[in-house]
């Protein structure tokens, strides 16, 4: 099996003698932004499917439709915003706009009186995510040495998941200790959201480089000491051919197929509730799940730098298939806790690694567009995935729905095997 070229550094200096590249200011700052944002989001998200069903009377199919529609809207904007950030050669303004929109909209779910109101809030929230995600990922890739690209994306995902640990725990404390209502918890989610926007505005900088020159007629942009100066590398030299060839489209096809079987995690929370996990402990379960995701993300990304992207992604997708098969067949609450823990490892192996592979396959000046296509593939498949899962759940039952997800993950792993990436 071939592996991804992850040593895109200057070959004039032996690897052993080359200083280890640091992650840099932008990676750390963007990771902090994601931590605060996820703390805000995850104060709401694990409670939302229960809020929809118990308080607003929604069905499983309605939950799937809301989540799928929200992600599909975001997907279209992820492509447009990524392309635009390549065209104007500036990432940060779009990132700031996207985080601000989502931070303002998200807590408004507290005033929802019908599932349609929740859908509207979720759509605006995802509009913000759609605007920010691709430019942010491209900015992160622009800001780090290619030799540690997997570690950088893994570190970012680890911080994101750390916020998802904090958020549910705060929600649990407010519900159990503070005796607040779910609607009050949703309002308080605005606090970490505001901290995220403040950190982004003050700490994150553009990362200009030789492959991303100022637009014609634009004033020169300030260079910063923490902005990496990419060394000559083979990835960017041949990436245009890879992008126009089969590697990148085939990878997108595999990701799309996998996503069709990767429905909203809201269904996992509903399944945990079916298996006997109390409502008050759902935020704790969600937090524990994100502890595993956070702890495994940086090592997973670093492993992909060393051993290649494909082996890590295939292993993660196969693990996902096994977990989904088990979710459809277990019958106890403790099994739900155990499976959520194993499920977290899937994210650690794949999330940062997939994004690093996108950056490997395309040149620097087109990364915004490439991340847009990647996010579009995931987002457009999210709606049919959740609708299909909800339909099978309602008509046949949870075991059949989870088995379908596992089968599609296996097919996606086979397709990924045909993605040709450069040997180290």
CATH of the domain at 252: 1.20.1250.20
Q: Does 243 score more than 60 pLDDT?
A: no
Q: Residue 269: give the domain boundaries.
A: 24-209+233-416
Q: What is the mean pLDDT of residues 15-40?
A: 79
* Cβ atoms of residues 81 and 135 within 8 Å: yes
Q: What is the pLDDT of residues 399-424, one digit of tens each?
A: 999 999 999 999 999 999 887 776 43
In-domain check, residue 278: yes
Confidence at residue 280, expressed as pLDDT on a 0 to 100 scale: 74
Share of the chain above pLDDT 90, in %: 30
Tell me whether residue 18 is exposed, middle or buried, using C-beta atoms within 10 angstroms of its C-beta: 0 to 12, 13 to 18, 19 or more. Answer: middle
Tokens of 392: 């099978």
In-domain check, residue 119: yes
* Cβ atoms of residues 264 and 386 within 8 Å: yes
In-domain check, residue 329: yes
Residues found in the chain: 424
Give CB contacts under 8 A, 24+ apart, made by 324-327.
Answer: 324/261, 324/402, 324/403, 324/405, 324/406, 324/409, 325/402, 325/403, 325/406, 327/268, 327/271, 327/398, 327/402
Q: Domain count of the chain?
A: 1
Confidence at residue 14, expressed as pLDDT on a 0 to 100 scale: 39
* Residues contacting residue 379 through CB under 8 Å, at least 6 positions apart: 71, 72, 73, 74, 75, 76, 78, 130
What's the pTM value of the predicted model, to 2 decimals? 0.70
In-domain check, residue 41: yes
Of 356, 358, 349, which Cα lies nearest the Cα of 299?
A: 349
In-domain check, residue 319: yes
Q: Does 326 score more than 70 pLDDT?
A: yes
Confidence at residue 390, expressed as pLDDT on a 0 to 100 scale: 85
Of 176 and 100, the structure prediction assigns the larger pLDDT to 100
Q: Would you place residue 240 in the very low, low, confident or very high pLDDT band (cuts 50, 70, 90)?
A: very low
Cα 104 off chain centre by = 20
Confidence at residue 128, expressed as pLDDT on a 0 to 100 scale: 93
Q: Does 236 score more than 90 pLDDT?
A: no
The Cα 320–Cα 73 span in angstroms is 25
- Among 82-91, 263-272, 277-286, the range scoring the smallest mean pLDDT is 277-286
């Amino acid at each position: 099996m071939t592996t991804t070229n992850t040593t895109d550094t200057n070959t004039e200096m032996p690897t052993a003698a080359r200083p280890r590249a640091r992650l840099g200011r932008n990676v750390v700052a963007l990771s902090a932004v994601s931590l605060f944002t996820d703390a805000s989001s995850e104060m709401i998200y694990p409670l939302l499917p229960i809020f929809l069903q118990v308080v607003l009377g929604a069905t499983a199919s309605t939950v799937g439709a809301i989540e799928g529609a929200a992600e599909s809207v975001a997907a279209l904007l992820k492509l447009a915003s990524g392309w635009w950030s390549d065209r104007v050669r500036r990432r940060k303004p779009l990132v700031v706009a996207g985080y601000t929109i989502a931070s303002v909209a998200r807590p408004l779910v507290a005033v929802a009186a019908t599932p349609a109101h929740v859908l509207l809030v979720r759509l605006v929230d995802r509009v913000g995510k759609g605007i920010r995600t691709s430019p942010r990922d491209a900015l992160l890739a622009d800001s780090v040495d290619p030799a540690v690209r997997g570690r950088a994306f893994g570190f970012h995902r680890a911080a994101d998941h750390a916020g998802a640990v904090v958020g549910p725990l705060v929600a649990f404390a407010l519900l159990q200790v503070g005796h607040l209502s779910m609607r009050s918890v949703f309002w308080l989610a605005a606090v970490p959201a505001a901290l995220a926007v403040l950190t982004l505005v003050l700490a994150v900088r553009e990362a200009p480089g030789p492959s991303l020159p100022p637009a014609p007629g634009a004033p020169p942009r300030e260079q910063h000491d923490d902005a990496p100066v990419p060394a000559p590398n083979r990835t960017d030299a041949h990436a245009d051919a890879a992008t126009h060839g089969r590697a990148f489209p085939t990878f997108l096809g595999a990701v799309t197929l996998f996503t069709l079987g990767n429905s909203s995690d809201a269904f996992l929370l509903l399944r945990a509730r079916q298996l006997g996990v109390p409502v008050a402990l759902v935020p704790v379960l969600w937090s524990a799940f994100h502890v595993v995701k956070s702890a495994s993300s940086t090592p997973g990304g670093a492993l992909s730098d060393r051993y290649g992207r494909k082996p890590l992604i295939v292993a993660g997708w196969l693990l996902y298939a096994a977990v989904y098969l088990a979710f459809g067949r277990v019958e106890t609450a403790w099994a739900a806790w155990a499976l959520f823990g194993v499920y977290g490892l899937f994210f650690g192996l794949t999330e940062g690694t997939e994004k690093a592979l996108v950056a490997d396959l395309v040149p620097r000046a087109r990364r915004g567009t490439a991340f847009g296509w990647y996010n579009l593939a995931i987002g457009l498949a999210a709606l049919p995935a959740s609708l299909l899962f909800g339909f099978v759940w309602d008509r046949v039952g949870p075991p059949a729905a989870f088995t379908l997800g596992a089968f599609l993950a296996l097919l996606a792993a086979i397709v990924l095997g045909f993605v040709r990436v450069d040997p180290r």
